[in-house]
Amino acid sequence: MQFMKKVLTIIGFVLLAFVLCCRWSTPVADFYAVHIYPAISGGMSLVASIFPFSLEEITVVCFVAALITVIVKTIKKRAGFFSWLKGTALIVMWLFVWFYMGWGNNYFRTSLSGRLHMEKVHFDKDNFCRFLDDFTVQLNLAAEEAAGYDKDEIEDQIKAFYDVKAVACGYTGIRNWQHAKKPLLNPLYSAVGVMGYMGPFFCETQLNEDLQDIEYPFVMAHEKAHLAGVTSEAEANYWGFAFCRQSDNPAIRYSGYQGLLPYVFSHANSFLTEEEYKAWATSLSPRALTDYATSREYWQKKRVKWINSIQHTAMDLMLRTNKVDEGAKDYYGVIAILMSMDAHEDKIITTNSK
């Protein structure tokens, strides 16, 4: 038993050293993202696919139980502070290592714009207004035509899209066995407004059971982006929208435009004058406005303020710790990424046509 503990400790320290190398060396993180993460995510999710329930929450509960066990044993044996510290440090180290080796090292790789040598579009009022005009036309059109879609086909459609588009940008393809699961503690996620998440321990995609049909395609594609290795919330929003926008089904396209609408409203409020904002808001289709308001009210009723506040603070701290300077506000960067990616793709098409 002592021998195995020593072996696990040595392995843990070796992996910890690699994690720290990824954090401080972009080339090492790039190596992890391209060569190691695909194997780890594929293997861990294959194990998880055997079980019909989420292993992510169970893993967290086991770590918490282990920490409590260390405290209980320390008290019973009267071993003292340093004994408790040693046991706790070992558990925390493995939690840290598992999170980063399982997925988290992707935070430190070369950014999407760096990999694509993409020039970022200046995010000013003129460029935003040009984006806003097109967005509004397409949103209204999708709202007018949207009817229904087959939920059972969404995952396969996302996989096919990511296997071409996301892989071309240096991300990992989606495996056939990587199906979305339902969280075990679903009411807790609704209480903090989390519509879905991608677990870093077994690379499992989780979708909130309370998702409305209008939200499902966008949220599913967002979480699958994380599974492919995307760490930025803004970029995951971009991929969720990019999948929905290219669909032949108006209902799926509508899900994407509704998914982006909160961020569009926020930026419109910042860039436009009060009169311009009101004029734009009245140009939106009645259905789009009603669905937007209904969705906000739906989730607001499920939120528990004090739990939501804790979750938001923890999320913000986690993102900032992992070099996401905007923290929880990172979600709102999706419009800037979308404008830059569209300009980049237009540039490629123009160059290739010459």
Mean pLDDT in order along the chain per 10 residues (354 residues): 78 94 96 97 95 92 90 79 80 94 96 92 93 96 94 95 95 95 91 92 95 96 97 96 96 97 95 95 96 94 87 85 82 93 81 62
Distance CA 6, CA 271 (A): 59
Q: Record the tokens describing residue 340, joined without a space.
A: 């830059």
Q: Which pLDDT does position 177 carry in this prediction?
A: 96
The backbone torsions φ and ψ at residue 326, rounded to the nearest 5 degrees and listed phi first, read -80, -10
Full-model pTM: 0.94
Q: What pLDDT score was predicted for residue 80?
A: 73
How much is the pLDDT for 171?
96
The 10 Å Cβ neighbour count of residue 46 is 14
Q: Are 328 and 319 in contact (CB under 8 A)?
A: yes
Helix (H, G, I), strand (E, B) or coil at 214: coil
Give the single-character DSSP code of 181: B
Give dist(CA 52, CA 50) in Å, integer.
7
The 8 Å CB, 24+ separation contacts for 247-252 are: 247/157, 247/217, 249/149, 250/141, 250/142, 250/145, 250/146, 250/147, 251/146, 251/147, 251/148, 251/149, 251/217, 252/149, 252/154, 252/157, 252/217
Task: With CA atoms as reference, report the closest residue to 167 among 228, 224, 221.
Answer: 228
> Residue 342, CB half-sphere, CA atoms under 13 Å: how many?
19
Q: What ranges do the domains of the chain cover?
A: 2-108, 113-353
The pLDDT of residue 149 is 94
Query: Which tokens hold the place of 166?
Result: 């996301």
